[in-house]
Chain A
Amino acid sequence: SAVISQKPSRDICQRGTSLTIQCQVDSQVTMMFWYRQQPGQSLTLIATANQGSEATYESGFVIDKFPISRPNLTFSTLTVSNMSPEDSSIYLCSVGDRGLGYGYTFGSGTRLTVV
């Protein structure tokens, strides 16, 4: 199965600033997915990131707030822009993994606290 390295693992940020989260995969993958997990909640899909095209955002998430880059088949970034305390969450990247029968492998997550 794919191995994902996600950075940073945690950060505390001031409101109004931006944070960029990186995910590096050890193999080439077509799709990468970004999820948000708010405190005590399950995972919510933010967007799907395909290499060479713009990310597809789910309802309630917009590109201006969560710009995503996908420069190649092994790397993606998610930026949380103009942060507010409501953005405090765990952010996880994921890839579809053929080894799991199209189940997903997840990064270790980024715990973001906005103060």
Chain B
Amino acid sequence: SQELEQSPQSLIVQEGKNLTINCTSSKTLYGLYWYKQKYGEGLIFLMMLQKGGEEKSHEKITAKLDEKKQQSSLHITASQPSHAGIYLCGALNGYNNNDMRFGAGTRLTVKP
């Protein structure tokens, strides 16, 4: 099954600083999804990447998928307290599979 490794496990940054979260797969990724979760709540979809080398941005968050489609990074520019939460990468469990597997998550704290 799809195994996703996320790093770091947790991150504490000062407001205004940039940060990067990584997600690495042991297999080719057929779609890589980034979600944000506030404590104890459901998941909010951020972005989906499908093509090697693809990059997407939404407000101050940018996500990239490498050419080999085995690693993705999520970059936040000029972090704000509203960015705090748990960031999860997810990927479909194979080309013809419909179930999604997740990384362990990165807990982000932004200090004002």
Q: Mark A residues whose CB is within 8 Å of B.
A: 1, 6, 31, 33, 41-43, 45, 48, 90, 92, 94, 96, 100-109, 111
Contact = CB atoms under 8 A, between A and B. Distances in A.
B45 A105 contact: yes
28 contacts: A6-B42, A41-B104, A42-B104, A42-B105, A43-B88, A43-B102, A45-B99, A45-B100, A45-B101, A48-B98, A94-B100, A96-B98, A100-B33, A100-B48, A101-B31, A101-B48, A102-B31, A103-B31, A103-B48, A103-B100, A104-B43, A104-B45, A104-B90, A106-B35, A108-B41, A108-B42, A109-B40, A109-B41
A48 B99 contact: yes
B30 to A, nearest CB: 9
A90 B100 CA distance: 17
A41 B50 CA distance: 26
Interface in B19-74: 31, 33, 35, 40-43, 45, 48, 50
Nearest to B93: A45
Given A42-B88, A42-B105, A103 B45 contact: yes
Nearest to B103: A42
Q: Which of A33, A43, A101, A107 has the most CB of B within 10 A?
A: A43
Contacts of B92: 102
B106 to A, nearest CB: 10
Contacts of A48: 98-99
Contact of A92 (B33, B42, B101, B103): B42
A103 B41 CA distance: 18
Nearest to B40: A111
Nearest to B46: A103
Contacts of B101: 45
B50 to A, nearest CB: 7
Given A42-B105, A92-B43, A102-B98, 7 more contacts: A33-B99, A45-B101, A90-B40, A96-B98, A100-B33, A105-B45, A108-B41
A96 B90 CA distance: 13
B98 A42 contact: no
Nearest to A105: B45
A107 B99 contact: no
